[in-house]
Structure 1
Amino acid sequence: MTDLRFHAILFGVVLIATYFTWNREISYGQADILRVWDRDSTDVLAIAYRISDVEVRIERRTDHAGEFFWGTETVGGDEPRTTDFPVGGPGRNLVHQLAGLRTVRDLGPLSTEMMTTFGIADSSDRLAVQFRDGQRELVMGDQVYGAEQRYAYEPATGMGHVLPRDIMTPLSNGQEAVRERLVHRFNGEDLARVRVHLGGTVRTMSRLGDTGEWAEPGSPAPDVPFGTFMQRVGQLAIQGFAVRPGPDARVLVRLEYLGSDDEPLGFMELLRDDGREADPYFVLTETTRVPAQAMTFLAVRVDEWLGGVATGGARGGLELSEL
């Protein structure tokens, strides 16, 4: 092998090693983590991220049930569209991460030339975190070549950073990455009773401790049709929050979930808006706080089973084989 060929191969190996060294997500010990700032998540009041014509905002709110995070996504253009939604587990985790914002790499003070190189100089993309005692804001630059990391610059300090992909990915994906997806968050093992409001009647059913099946209070015999109904209710899923039901939407059924001491665990209302030709079903629960679009085919399975729930019989014409 000639010296020239050997050095060419060696140079290529060095380039590849340098590329992966620069772009890797570094695993730090807790003491070695580099942070842009380090605050407690309880200090975060709001987060705003603007990229191109999309802005996502997450803010802390309070109602009768306590504190929660609420999100809004505004998509620009000639007719801006805004969707508001409850923030789910991934969104709350994002708040925690942004409270103590980690940086993959501290770039130090950025010169005008460096800001141009990193796509910061002319950028209108922003990430802002509002704390109880003030706001911190970053100007977002280009994506790091070959990685889902992004250059960032804090005007208040003049310092540049590279933000990791576990921060950038949910921010870039917006509403779909941070919205609530769980119909309930209580532990299913704590559920002892359910109270069903349907057609002007109220029916209370209990879970059998040994099997978890549903039965009339005091009865050892499981009510199989009601168990089927509860199974279908448990499969309801949230499709999204972009649409709200119209004023004529009606509640088909309301369920109240109770613990062993009849303490409330949560609730669920299934609504149907007959004014909508497609996707007419919505669910309202303690986690959604507003009616959310329900997965239609799952909601239909609940709707078609309502006929006999109030009276204790299976819906006429339906067999258990149709599960």
Structure 2
Amino acid sequence: MKARDVAVQGVLAGVALVAAFFVWQREPSRAPGEVTVEEGQASSLDRIRYDEETRFVELLRDPQDRDTLWVRLGSKPAKPGAGAGTTDGGVADGGSIVTTDTDAGTPASPTPVPPPRELRGNDVALKLFSRLAPLRAQRDLGVLDDKKLDEIGLAKTERGLTLTLDGTPRTFRVATPASGWGPPYLQRTSDGHVFLLGPALLTDLEAAASRLVDRRLHTFDVDGFDRVVITTGTTSRAFAASGKPPGAVQLSPENAPGTPDDFARNWHDRLWRLTPVELLGRGEAPPGPAPTPAFRVEYQRGGKAVGELSMAKTPDGSWYARTEFTPGWARMGGGLELLAEDAVKLTSPR
């Protein structure tokens, strides 16, 4: 190849890189008529907080990996005379229970607010950062008088949105419609301007526990490991594993790799298809003493560990699982005694 041809190719490659850079920097396209409420890029958005009267939701980036998100679900102290309920995150609304008056006419002390629950955010949570930075609305209604603010639910609202961009919080008030539903109006606190948001912009935050939490036990599928080690007590047994999703993984005793074990395959398939009933947060433990695993499963590939699962039963009869991916223990459904009994059979000497 001639030197001139090499130079031309180098110039073309440089132009392509510059073009790619500007495309990456360009703001996402906006719908016709949209207005910008708050400038910013998703990469600069550090934290999202959504407040309601009795609870709050926060989405925050992991300090070690900004692409890893945590969803924090918390309750607020109940106001005097307010009843207690349950949020979609499994935390009591308001975090406290207000009891009826005592015989002396003095209300009982409320239960302390439980600490917030921190769970892993899913892909929907990650995409929400791009939807909120820059923050856009359908219309800018300008500064409204008190009567109009009251009509659209902004006069006495306790709902709010806070976007922390490059360490600086930007606060907004979110309307509370009188009928419980209606157009999502938002007021920018810095200048009082009111905006009409898109109809689905805040839906994910309102149902954060069901829409933004990653409920997976593992990030790999049945083709992500080639060896399974099952342990009960001090006894372990290893199996060679092979499989392709969505089917069940085939397990063969390591000392007899050409002899598939149907009992082991069916047992593991039941285990693999379990889903959590409730996810506990980072640093949150099941009630009672520390759980003692009834059995443990380790997943390996190429001689290296890729994941593990421990299953334990608490004194109240509940079953909890913990894996390499869950932030803590996860409460499972009942009826897992047979699964634990079969794990003992699988690891028994043969």
TM-score bracket, normalised by the shorter chain, equals: 0.7 to 0.9
State the distance in 2 between where 1:238 and 1:148 align: 34
What are the within-5 Å matches in structure 2 for residues 193-204 of structure 1?
A: 193-204=227-238
1:128 Cα deviation after fit: 0.8
Partner of 1:229: 267
Question: What's the TM-score, normalizing by structure 2?
Answer: 0.69
User: Does structure 1 residue 154 correspond to structure 2 residue 188?
Assistant: yes
Please tell me whether the aligned partners of residues 254 and 267 of structure 1 are also in contact (alpha carbons under 8 angstroms).
yes
User: Does structure 1 residue 81 correspond to structure 2 residue 114?
Assistant: yes
State the distance in 2 between where 1:149 and 1:244 align: 40
Partner of 2:141: 107
State the distance in 2 between where 1:154 and 1:73 align: 24
5+ residue gaps in structure 2?
1-27, 79-109
Partner of 1:9: none
1:141 Cα deviation after fit: 0.9
Letter of the 1:61 partner, please give it. D
1:312 Cα deviation after fit: 6.8
User: Does structure 1 residue 41 correspond to structure 2 residue 79?
Assistant: no
1:282 Cα deviation after fit: 1.0
State the distance in 1 between where 2:228 and 2:41 align: 38
1:159 Cα deviation after fit: 2.3
State the distance in 2 between where 1:273 and 1:311 align: 24
Please tell me whether the aligned partners of residues 85 and 180 of structure 1 are also in contact (alpha carbons under 8 angstroms).
no
Letter of the 2:119 partner, please give it. P
Partner of 1:215: 252
Letter of the 1:152 partner, please give it. L
State the distance in 2 between where 1:256 and 1:62 align: 28
Please tell me whether the aligned partners of residues 148 and 169 of structure 1 are also in contact (alpha carbons under 8 angstroms).
no
Q: Which moved more, 1:101-110 or 1:280-289?
A: 101-110
State the distance in 2 between where 1:150 and 1:205 align: 55
Match of 2:285 among 215, 235, 244: 244
Partner of 2:298: 256
User: Does structure 1 residue 58 correspond to structure 2 residue 59?
Assistant: yes
State the distance in 1 between where 2:135 and 2:178 align: 18
Partner of 1:16: none
Please tell me whether the aligned partners of residues 208 and 220 of structure 1 are also in contact (alpha carbons under 8 angstroms).
no
1:51 Cα deviation after fit: 0.9
State the distance in 1 between where 2:289 and 2:268 align: 28
State the distance in 2 between where 1:232 and 1:312 align: 22
1:34 Cα deviation after fit: 4.2
Partner of 1:191: 225
State the distance in 2 between where 1:34 and 1:304 align: 61
Question: What's the TM-score, normalizing by structure 1?
Answer: 0.74
Please tell me whether the aligned partners of residues 239 and 293 of structure 1 are also in contact (alpha carbons under 8 angstroms).
yes
1:227 Cα deviation after fit: 0.7
User: Does structure 1 residue 284 correspond to structure 2 residue 297?
Assistant: no
Letter of the 2:343 partner, please give it. L
* Root-mean-square deviation (Å): 3.2
5+ residue gaps in structure 1?
1-27, 314-323
Q: Residues 274-300 of structure 1: CA distance to partner in whole angstroms, max 9, x if unpaired?
A: 2x15xx111112332211211224x44
1:47 match: secondary structure: strand
1:201 Cα deviation after fit: 2.4
Q: 1:294 to 1:152 in 2, by over 3 A?
A: same
Partner of 1:22: none
Sequence identity (%): 19
State the distance in 2 between where 1:300 and 1:105 align: 58
Q: 1:169 to 1:300 in 2, by over 3 A?
A: farther
1:144 Cα deviation after fit: 9.2
Q: Residues 200-219 of structure 1: CA distance to partner in whole angstroms, max 9, x if unpaired?
A: 12322222368841112361
State the distance in 2 between where 1:55 and 1:188 align: 37
Letter of the 2:70 partner, please give it. F
How many residues align? The count is: 281
Q: Residues 34-54 of structure 1: CA distance to partner in whole angstroms, max 9, x if unpaired?
A: 443353434333222111111
More helix by proportion, 1 or 2?
1
Q: Which moved more, 1:84-93 or 1:127-136?
A: 84-93
Letter of the 1:281 partner, please give it. W
Letter of the 1:179 partner, please give it. V
Match of 1:126 among 154, 160, 165: 160
State the distance in 2 between where 1:106 and 1:305 align: 63
